[in-house]
Amino acid sequence: MSIPKNLKYTRTHEWVRVEGDVAVVGITDHAQHELTDIVYVELPSLGAQVDTTKECAVVESVKSANDVYSPVSGEVVAVNEELDNAPELINDEPYGKGWMLKIRMSDPGELGELLSPDDYSHHIGA
Amino acid sequence: MASIEQLKRTPLYAAHLEWGAKMVPFGGWEMPVAYSSIIDEHTAVRECVGLFDVSHMGEVLLAGPNAETALNHLLTNDVRKIAVGQAQYALMCNEHGGVIDDLIVYRVEPSVYLIVVNASNIEKVFSWMNSQASASAVLENESDKTAMLALQGPNATRLLADSTDISYFHITRKSVFGRKCRVARTGYTGEDGFEILCDAADGVAFWTELLRRGAECGIKPCGLGARDTLRLEMCYPLNGSDMNEDTTPLEAGLGRFVALDKGDFIGRDALLGQKENGIERKLIAFKMAEKSPPPRQHYPIVSDARRIGEVTSGAQSPTLGIGIGMGYVEADAAVIGTKIGIEIRGRKYAATIEKKPLLKRTKTQPVL
């Protein structure tokens, strides 16, 4: 199970890559493996305000619909439009081409609450 | 969700793990949902050949001089029409005409019937049959002793070339790869293919050998995920989702498997009444008319801003590339071509009621 060292993680299987004041967000390799084939992705609109307490996106696999929670609060500044026609990118490259959204963080301090790669690894029992 | 008791495992459990299966609970069993990808496995069955472990399903043997009469009383279809070596799809109903299970009856010998039942219903069906028929026939639950594999797809006949003499919906004893088994030309995918019933101890050997022989033509092991999308494209009902003890075969559109004229059977009075008075709801098939999240069980079906029913099975169809499903709607609204809406997360997406099956297969298309 791939858990890149340069990312931060949540208990609900999202990852964050920090690029300045922007957080790039997606779901982990463990998550895509559990879901099997992803067939539909619903992403928020640009400019939407997201926070850590409610879902910001939906990932649907053949077998289930799953809420994605934002690891940080802020404004959505980009969404991965390729997922519209190729939702399976999340299965193929969960950390690369399968990225989901970019958030301009309103409180970078929230990053401190996220899990390190080792913590996430323990969390999923890897 | 899994119950507190241990999930049951088929004789092929270790083989599934070896082949990289993702295991999930299903009807009390721990089964593979997929090995690589549900969509790839689905496509392999449509275009090449796939192999399923269906050993979780149940096998009940009913035998004796009164076997035919006993069985004909339990099932909706006319089992007197089954020739030796032939198979028949039938429903087992309760007194209200509600479906206990749908199953395939194989007349393996003149007075011996092999009945293959759904995995989640084995105990229920066996005990129902016992309570109704044990006075007149001998019943045995062979499920634990039997493994079953389904080899499905246009290339199935290449791998079991010696079985091409078995015609559609027939079964016979064979020696395959030097081992005794029964081979049936039946399936749940809409493709040509075989179902192999063997001793539990031989299951792994058949599995391994078929995958080995099929490697050069691209065989894939296939899980329950693909099994579900394949049957849904054919509009084959799934007991527990599209049918249950509160729905009747007539409501499900399976009237041609109900022989009301054959004489008495359990549920006949209720079904006769329903036929005379008309059904109030009908199981329809639909296809999405626009890109949408996959339709799923319990999503409302609407027409003219009014809820007319509910989805019972739904999925993104790998072959059609759009959402499909089945569901019960008010009988008056069940007209092919009608534009309906499927409500998904509070938003209505356009769909159309379609004729069944949603997919046409040119090769040996089953009559379901």
Return the pLDDT at B365. 43
Return the pLDDT at B368. 44
A–B CB contacts, 8 A cutoff, strictly below: 41
Give me the residue spans of the domains in chain A.
Answer: 8-106
In chain A, the percentage of residues whose pLDDT exceeds 70 is: 100
Return the pLDDT at B134. 76
Question: Cβ(B346)–Cβ(B293) under 8 Å?
Answer: no
Q: How many residues does chain B have?
A: 368
Q: Is residue B48 part of a domain?
A: no
CA distance A101 to A78: 6
Say if strands A74-79 and B29-34 run parallel, antiparallel, or are unpaired: unpaired
CA atoms within 13 Å, Cβ hemisphere of B126:
20
Partner A contacted by B39 (CB < 8 A)? yes
CA distances from A48 to A104, A116, B42, B145, B221 (A): 11, 27, 38, 58, 43
pLDDT mean by block of 10 residues, chain B; 368 residues: 74 97 94 96 97 97 94 97 97 98 97 96 93 87 96 95 93 96 97 97 97 95 98 97 98 97 97 97 98 97 96 97 97 97 96 96 54
Residue that terminates a domain, selected from B104, B139, B174 = B139
Q: Say which amino acid occupies B197.
A: L
Domain with B117, as residue range(s), is: 59-139
- B325 contacts in chain A (CB < 8 Å): none
Q: Is residue B15 part of a domain?
A: no
Residue that terminates a domain, selected from B119, B139, B159 = B139
- B294 contacts in chain A (CB < 8 Å): 39-40, 60, 62, 65
Q: Is the model's pLDDT at A4 over the cut of 80?
A: yes
Q: In 3D, which of A9, A81, A3 has the Cα closest to residue A45?
A: A81
Q: Could you tell me the pLDDT band of residue A1, with boundaries at 50, 70 and 90? A: confident
Q: Is residue B346 part of a domain?
A: yes
Return the pLDDT at B136. 84
Return the pLDDT at B1. 53
Return the pLDDT at B363. 60
User: Rounded to two decimals, what is the model's pTM?
Assistant: 0.94
* Helix axes of B67-74 and B122-133: crossing angle, nearest 10 degrees: 120
- B224 contacts in chain A (CB < 8 Å): none
CA distance B309 to B326: 10
What kind of fold does domain A8-106 have according to CATH? OB fold (Dihydrolipoamide Acetyltransferase, E2P) (2.40.50)
Return the pLDDT at B6. 85
- A62 contacts in chain B (CB < 8 Å): 38-39, 225, 229, 294, 315-316
Order of strands across the sheet with A55-61?
A38-42, A55-61, A65-69
Partner B contacted by A46 (CB < 8 A)? no
Return the pLDDT at B230. 98
Q: Is residue B147 part of a domain?
A: no
H helix intervals, chain A: 29-35, 82-85, 89-92, 117-123
pLDDT in tens, A61-99: 998 999 999 999 999 999 999 999 999 999 999 999 999
Residue that terminates a domain, selected from B139, B172, B202 = B139
Q: Can you tell me the ipTM of this complex?
A: 0.89
Q: Is the peptide bond prior to B221 cis by the omega test (within 30 degrees of 0)?
A: no
- A63 contacts in chain B (CB < 8 Å): 33, 38, 225
What separation, in Å, do the N-terminal and C-terminal C-alpha atoms of chain B show?
29
Partner A contacted by B232 (CB < 8 A)? no
- Kindly give, in sequence order, each residue whose CB lies less than 8 Å from that of residue B153, ignoring residues fewer than 6 positions away: B44, B45, B46, B47, B48, B49, B50, B189, B191, B192, B193
Return the pLDDT at B18. 97
Cβ distance of A33 and B22 shorter than 8 Å: yes
Of A37, A42, A58, the CB nearest to B38: A37
What is the DSSP secondary structure assignment for residue B262, as one 8-state letter? G
